Structure 1
Amino acid sequence: MIKDRDLSKIKMLVMDVDGTLTDGKIYVGDSGEVFKAFNVRDGYRLIHMDEYNIIPVIITGKKSEILSKRAIELRIEEVHQGIDDKLKVLDEVIERYQLTYENVAYIGDDVNDLDCMKVCYLKASPADAIDEVLGVVDYVCKTNGGNGAVREFIDLIVKAQSREKKKMKVNQY
């Protein structure tokens, strides 16, 4: 449960893409072009992650030029695509930033997210994640993947961290 978690520890947010940042659908045009829809509310929070001192990280099983472009728009530097072993990449990323699992929040929706979820301090899923994921997360978003679930999770973390900072200031006097 999320109430027993100290969200001030969170320094990194790791996200899946298909089914989490998107609705999981892939649209294919007549000429074979591929389209994915990203939610602007998610994007608004993600583009401001540096203000919250939280490092945004994407680790996804698929490779997509669309995602590469979207990540540039959102100023997300840690983008890892076409990944079979997400936990291995997560380990490399947290080591590079000299963090631990205790500093990581993770949001995903499917079986390929479970290994990372099992080790991360705080884990969440969109409302429409698979049952196995829903059974291990600390927080199930009210919204589905691609419909603002990532924004909801970020808001939860940022608001909790803001309350913690206010408490610390009050305790200084």
Structure 2
Amino acid sequence: MRIRYLLLDVDGVMTDGTLYFDENGREIKGFSIYDGHGIRLLQKARIGVGIISGRSSTVVAWRAKELGIEDVHQGSRDKEAAYEMIKAKHRLQDEAVAFIGDDLIDLTLLRRVGFSIAVASAVDAVKQEVDWVTKKKGGEGAVREVIDFILSAQASHTKTPFS
């Protein structure tokens, strides 16, 4: 079955996992421009993209809006509930979903999806359980690495989880 939807964690996946605060206590995050362009390429290929994050941040909401990501679930301590809502909304089976995570809270979803990915900077327990580990770290182009892989695999029509 083809991958039809990519789910992303945020802290440690779309970012390097560092939390920055300005002198007024406002959170600041850095996002890779390469990841953002990759998300646009994936959307152009008619593959959905969503975010499920354990933390809440106005910066993430802003970045998601900028990228046209409509399925954004923040403050999700129960990531499975958010996942089930996204699956139902888009009529997806587990096999059609890829998920990129980096920490223990992501393991439940990583065990369910059709293609599970950890970033290179993920904790070891996560890296040991996924289908694939990126070469790049979170916030440093890991999301784009995954997107390029998915798009290439689906274009080549090889017998992979993407064809």
Give 1:5's aligned residue: none
Q: Return the TM-score normalized by structure 2.
A: 0.94
Look at both structures and tell me which one has the larger radius of gyration over its CA atoms. Answer: 1
Which residue identity lines up with residue 118 of structure 1 in the other structure? Answer: R
What are the Cα deviations for residues 7-44 of structure 1, in whole angstroms up to 9, with x where unaligned? x5100000000000000001111121210100000000
Runs of at least 5 residues in structure 2 that lack an aligned partner in the other structure: 159-163
Rounded Cα–Cα distance in structure 1 between residues aligned with 2:125 and 2:81: 21
Percent identical pairs in the alignment equals 39
- Taking the TM superposition and a 5 Å limit, the aligned residue runs for 1:21-170 are 21-164=14-157
Rounded Cα–Cα distance in structure 1 between residues aligned with 2:50 and 2:28: 22
Q: CA deviation at 1:145?
A: 0.4
Which residue identity lines up with residue 9 of structure 1 in the other structure? Answer: R
Q: Decide whether the 8 Å contact of 2:42 with 2:151 is kept in 1.
A: no
Q: CA deviation at 1:91?
A: 1.2
Which residue identity lines up with residue 59 of structure 2 in the other structure? Answer: I
Which residue identity lines up with residue 74 of structure 1 in the other structure? Answer: L
Q: Return the TM-score normalized by structure 1.
A: 0.89
Give 1 or 2: higher helix fraction.
1
> What secondary structure, in the 3-state scheme, does the structure 1 residue paired with 2:23 have?
coil
Runs of at least 5 residues in structure 1 that lack an aligned partner in the other structure: 1-7, 166-173
The alignment's C-alpha RMSD in Å is 1.1
Which residue identity lines up with residue 130 of structure 2 in the other structure? Answer: V
Count of aligned residue pairs for this structure pair: 158
